[in-house]
Amino acid sequence: MDITFYGAAKHVTGSCTYLKCNDKTILIDCGLPQGRDEKDMGEEFFFEPSLVDFVLLTHAHIDHSGRIPQLVKEGFRGEIWATSATRRLCDIMLSDSAHIQEMEAEWKSRKSVRAGKNKVEPLYTIKDALESLTYFKECNYDEKIELSKGISCRFVDAGHLLGSSSIELWLEEGDKKRKLVFSGDIGNFDQPIIEDPHYLDDADIVIMESTYGDRIHKKPEGSIGNNIPTIARARELALIVRDTFAKGGNVVIPAFSVGRTQEILYLFRYILDNNLLPEYPDIPVFVDSPLSVKATEIFASSIQGYYDEEAMKMVNEGINPIIFPSLTTIVDVEQSKALNFRKEPCVIISSSGMCEAGRIKHHLKHNLWKPESTVIFSGYQAGGTLGRSILDGARHVTIFSEQIDVKCNVVSLQGISGHADQQGLLEWIKAFKKKPKQIFINHGEAEVASYFASLVNKELKIKAYAPAPLETFSLIDATVLPTQIDTPLPSSVSTKLYNSVDQLINEREILEAVVSRMIKASKKTDLSEKDAIRLTNAIERLRSDIEYLGIKWYGDSE
C-alpha cells in the first residue's frame, strides 16, 4: 500500500497521484500541466498506463482531467469514476482540449517541416478524447462505491466547480486498513451557484491542495466575517464596470470557460436584476468562447443536487440564474473580431483563464494598451503564464509576436476565487472530528506548499509534508512518514513585505510633516470653529490609530 506523487507535487497544475493497494493501481486525477509546469513535468507518464485499474476524477478542470485521453491512448482500459456533472463537463472539455492539441501540433508542424524536421504529433486527438469518454462511470455525491475487494471510495461536494469533489478512500490490505481523503480543489465559501465545500469527519492520511496556502483573500466590502453575500461580490464587480464605462473603456475578464464564466454571469444577472448600476441598465456582456457557450448550456440545465439553495430557488421560480437579456454569446470568429471595433463600452468574458490560449489573447491585445479599459482577473494565474505577467505588473507583454504596452487598469477579484484561502484551508482541516495522522500538501507552488506544510505542523500539530515530484511513501507505516520543518515565507509574500517596509520608511517623513503641521495649525489664533472641530477629529483619529498600532506591535519591538 503506497502512494506516489506524479503530478502537482510542488506545482499547481497537472494533478496526478498514484496509489497501489492489493495489486490494484488507482490514479487520483490525471491532469494536464500548464504554464511553467508543462516544461517541468514533460509529456510522458512515469508509470505504465495499461496497468492502471481505476481513475478517480475530482473535477473536470483540465489541470485535473486533461491527460485522460492520453492515458487511454497509451493503453488504459480500466474505469474512470466521476460525478455525473463532472462527466458531462468532461464531454465538452476533453474534446476541446484535444482540438487545442491538434491545432498546436499543426502549427508546430508547419514550422518544423519548414526547418526540415519531422512533423509534430498532437498529445492526443479528438478521436482519442471521444474514446476516453467511454471509460467513464458516473456516481452521485455521498454514495459509497466498492471498486474492488478492499478498495472503496466516496465522492463528497468540494464546492469548487459544478460536480467537484473531495474523495474518501478506504483501503484494506491483509490486516492493514487505511482511510485516505483527497481534498481535490477546495472551494471558497458563498461561491455563486454551487454549494459550499462539505467538511469530512475522519481520515488517517489526507492529501490536500494548497493553491492559496500563503494568503488570505481580500474580502469585498459588505462581507460578514467569512461570509460574502452575493450582493457584496456583485457590488464590487459593478463598481469596476461603472468606473471603466465612465472612462469609455471595456471590461475584459479572462475566465475559465467552465465554472468561473458562469459564476461571473450569475453576478451580472444579479447586478441587472437588482439595479445595482442604474446608470447602465443594460450592461452589454459578451461571452466569447465556444466552449464557454457549451458549458453555460450545461450549467443552465441546472443539474439537480449540484446547485446551492439560492440558485435552486431561482430555478424553481422559473428564472435562469445565468442568463439575462443583454448577454450575447459568441461562437463565430467574425463576430468575435467585430467586438474589437465596437464603439460603446462593453464587458468581454473570454478564455483561457490564464490567457495562454484562445480568443482572450485578441481581446487583451486590443485593450491592454488603453488606459480607459480594465482587465479583471478572477482565478489563479500559474507562474509563467501571460495572465501571471499582467497580474504581476508587467509594463509590456508580447502577444502574437507583438509588443503591447500594459496601460489599462488591472484588478484581481480575490473574493470570487474558486479556491479557499489559507484560512479556508486551515478551517477545512480543523473540521475533521478526528485529527488526521498525516497530511500531504500538494497542488501549490513549491515554496507555498512547503510553507503551508510547516504552518499545519506548527499551528495544528499534525505531521504535514509537501512531497517532491515522484516521491513515494508507504501508507502502512505512518511513523516513517515525513514532516516539513520550518520553511520561510514564500518569496511572493516576503517581497511584498519588504516593499511595504520601504514605503513605510519613505512615508515616515510625511507622517512627521503631518504631525508638525497639525501642531502648527492648532496654534493658529484665527482658526474658525468648523476648522477647529475638523482638526480635533483628525488629530483624534491619527492618535487612536497610532495608539492601536502601538498596542499591536509594541510587544515585538526591541
- Contacting positions for Zn ion (CB under 5 A): 61, 185
Of 6 and 245, the one with the shorter C-beta distance to Zn ion is 6
Q: Least separation, in Å, of the C-beta of 211 and Zn ion? A: 7
Of 185 and 356, the one with the shorter C-beta distance to Zn ion is 185
Q: Least separation, in Å, of the C-beta of 1 and Zn ion? A: 26
Of 61 and 179, the one with the shorter C-beta distance to Zn ion is 61
- Which residue, among 100, 92, 101, 29, has the nearest Cα to 65 in the 3D structure? 29
Instruction: Measure the CA–CA gap between 270 and 310, rounded to whole angstroms.
Output: 12
Q: Least separation, in Å, of the C-beta of 135 and Zn ion? A: 21
Instruction: Measure the CA–CA gap between 55 and 45, rounded to whole angstroms.
Output: 14
CA dihedral (235, 240, 243, 244) in degrees, to 10, reads: -140
Taking CB positions, which residue lies at the least distance from Zn ion? 61
Q: Which residues contact 541 (CB under 8 A, 6 or more apart)?
A: none
Q: Least separation, in Å, of the C-beta of 388 and Zn ion? A: 15
Burial state string for 13-48 with b = 16 or more CB within 10 A and e = fewer than 16: bbbbbbbbbeebbbbbbbbbbbbbbbeebeeebebe
Of 253 and 475, the one with the shorter C-beta distance to Zn ion is 253
Tell whether the torsion through CA atoms of 358, 290, 265 and 90 is positive or negative: negative
Contact present, 57 and 81 (Cβ < 8 Å):
yes
Neighbours of 461 (CB within 10 A): 9
- Indicate the DSSP class of residue 254: E
Neighbours of 418 (CB within 10 A): 24
Axis-axis angle for helices 446-460, 491-522 (nearest 10): 70
In 2-134 the beta strands, taken as DSSP E runs, fall at 2-7, 16-21, 24-28, 54-56, 79-83
In 43-118 the beta strands, taken as DSSP E runs, fall at 54-56, 79-83
Of 260 and 294, the one with the shorter C-beta distance to Zn ion is 260
Of 58 and 250, the one with the shorter C-beta distance to Zn ion is 58
Of 61 and 269, the one with the shorter C-beta distance to Zn ion is 61
Of 185 and 263, the one with the shorter C-beta distance to Zn ion is 185
- Indicate the DSSP class of residue 184: -
Of 373 and 442, the one with the shorter C-beta distance to Zn ion is 442
Instruction: Measure the CA–CA gap between 477 and 467, rounded to whole angstroms.
Output: 17
Q: Least separation, in Å, of the C-beta of 54 and Zn ion? A: 20
442: three-class secondary structure by DSSP:
strand
Of 61 and 363, the one with the shorter C-beta distance to Zn ion is 61
Contact present, 240 and 205 (Cβ < 8 Å):
no
Of 210 and 367, the one with the shorter C-beta distance to Zn ion is 210
Of 61 and 362, the one with the shorter C-beta distance to Zn ion is 61
The dihedrals phi and psi of 234, each to the nearest 5 degrees, come to -65, -40
Q: Least separation, in Å, of the C-beta of 510 and Zn ion? A: 43
C-alpha distances out from residue 394 to 214, 244, 254, 386, 387, Å:
22, 21, 17, 10, 10
Q: Least separation, in Å, of the C-beta of 31 and Zn ion? A: 7
The dihedrals phi and psi of 396, each to the nearest 5 degrees, come to -150, 155
Tell whether the torsion through CA atoms of 440, 60, 410 and 414 is positive or negative: negative
Q: Least separation, in Å, of the C-beta of 420 and Zn ion? A: 12
Q: Least separation, in Å, of the C-beta of 209 and Zn ion? A: 7
Q: Least separation, in Å, of the C-beta of 264 and Zn ion? A: 16
In angstroms, what is the C-alpha Rg of the chain? 26
Q: Which residues contact 470 (CB under 8 A, 6 or more apart)?
A: 4, 5, 6, 9, 46
Of 355 and 406, the one with the shorter C-beta distance to Zn ion is 355
Q: Least separation, in Å, of the C-beta of 222 and Zn ion? A: 27
